[in-house]
């Protein structure tokens, strides 16, 4: 039987950093952020639906202008809901397709890496356990501003679109504290891999 783990965290708390280590250890990772980009790639029905709903203003040279759409939806929950009404079913179908393949291959452990794992409302039903990568809020905001070149207001707006990290931590099977150095975080992940006999 395949054991399915959700991997999540707050925006910029270090989920991708941990996910890369799990992949390097040979675990199959279904990456919701990658799928979210694929379903709105040029020429897809997803992109057509976005253009129809939000206007061609959000397309540049036939591609989704992610920065412009992000500025709209991360500052306006109603617009984010409109976007998710298009993207969520497409993402969900692809995650389920990949998961079904892994189950058929009887892969022992599969990871679903999804920033909005809890908020999406459907992923918990597919998973057995959840790993949450957490930092304190000040560290999260600082790293988000630095990585995405965002103002404090823009960073806060993105953080406010997600569950607070304490609430995610309260729902976790395992918490990885990424508030310290990369090496300290790595140690926690290696310990988990050891415990699961996955190294
Ligand atoms: C609004 C979009 C175009 C902005 O693109 P951009 O390249 O600037 O950001 P990117 O997609 O890399 O996301 C960065 C981070 O923002 C956060 N985020 C993205 N979508 C959401 C959302 N629907 N709700 C809350 N946070 C979100 C996540 O932490 C994510 O890791 C894009 O995020 C999008 O299409 N979102 C809707 C699809 C979705 O729900 N994706 C979440 C993964 S399943
Ligand atoms: N322990 C750490 N110390 C310093 N910087 C870190 C640490 N962990 C991650 N970072 C940096 O913080 C930023 C956010 O990390 P990462 O991209 O892994 O977050 P994420 O949770 O995947 O973000 P998102 O939700 O946007 O996908 C990156 O620039 C990364 O290099």
* Interface predicted TM-score (ipTM): 0.96
In short, whether 147's Cβ falls inside 6 Å of ligand 2 is yes
Within 10 angstroms of residue 14's Cβ, the number of other Cβ atoms is: 21
Q: Which ligand is closest in space to the CA of residue 82? A: 1
Q: Do the beta carbons of residue 67 and residue 149 sit within 8 Å?
A: no
Domain range list for the chain: 3-195
Which of 12, 33, 72 gets mutated to test ligand 1 (max ligand atoms within 8 A of its CB)? Answer: 33
178 lines ligand 2 (CB under 6 A): yes
Q: What is the pLDDT of residue 87?
A: 98
Q: How high is the pLDDT of residue 197? A: 87
Q: Looking at the structure, give the CATH architecture of the domain made up of residues 3-195.
A: 3-Layer(aba) Sandwich (3.40)
Which residue has a Cα nearest atom 12 of ligand 1?
33
Distance CA(164)–CA(187), nearest Å, equals 25
Burial of 61 (0-12, 13-18, 19+ CB in 10 A): exposed
Tell whether ligand 1 has an atom less than 6 A from the beta carbon of residue 92. no
Q: From the alpha carbon of 16, which atom of ligand 1 is closest?
A: 31
Block means of pLDDT (10 residues each) for the chain, 199 residues, are: 96 97 97 98 97 96 96 96 98 98 97 96 95 98 97 96 96 98 98 91
Identify the pLDDT of residue 107: 96
Q: What is the pLDDT of residue 198?
A: 86
Which residues 6+ apart lie within 8 Å of 95 measured at CB?
Answer: 30, 32, 35, 112, 114, 123, 126
The predicted structure's pLDDT at residue 52: 97
Residue 172 is predicted with a pLDDT of 97
pTM (2 decimals)? 0.96
Per-residue pLDDT of 78-106, as tens digits, reads: 999 999 999 999 999 999 999 999 999 99
How far apart, in Å, are the Cα atoms of 137 and each of 11, 19, 110, 113, 165?
Answer: 10, 21, 29, 21, 8
């Amino acid at each position: 039987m395949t054991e399915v783990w959700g991997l999540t965290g707050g925006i910029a708390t270090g989920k991708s950093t941990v996910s890369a280590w799990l992949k390097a250890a040979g675990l199959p990772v279904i990456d919701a952020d990658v799928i979210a980009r694929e379903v709105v790639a040029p020429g897809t029905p997803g992109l057509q639906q976005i253009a129809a709903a939000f206007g061609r203003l959000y397309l540049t040279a036939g591609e989704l202008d992610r920065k412009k759409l992000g500025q709209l939806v991360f500052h306006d929950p109603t617009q984010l809901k409109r976007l998710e009404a298009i993207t969520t079913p497409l993402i969900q179908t692809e995650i389920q397709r990949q998961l079904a393949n892994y189950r058929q291959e009887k892969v022992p452990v599969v990871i679903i890496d999804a920033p909005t794992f809890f908020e999406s409302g459907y992923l918990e039903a597919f998973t057995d356990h959840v790993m949450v990568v957490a930092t304190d809020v000040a560290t999260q905001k600082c790293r988000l501003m630095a990585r995405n070149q965002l103002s404090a207001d823009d960073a806060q707006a993105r953080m406010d679109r997600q569950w607070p990290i304490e609430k995610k931590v309260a729902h976790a099977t395992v918490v990885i504290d990424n508030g310290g150095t990369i090496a300290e975080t790595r140690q926690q992940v290696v310990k988990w891999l050891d415990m699961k006999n996955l190294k």
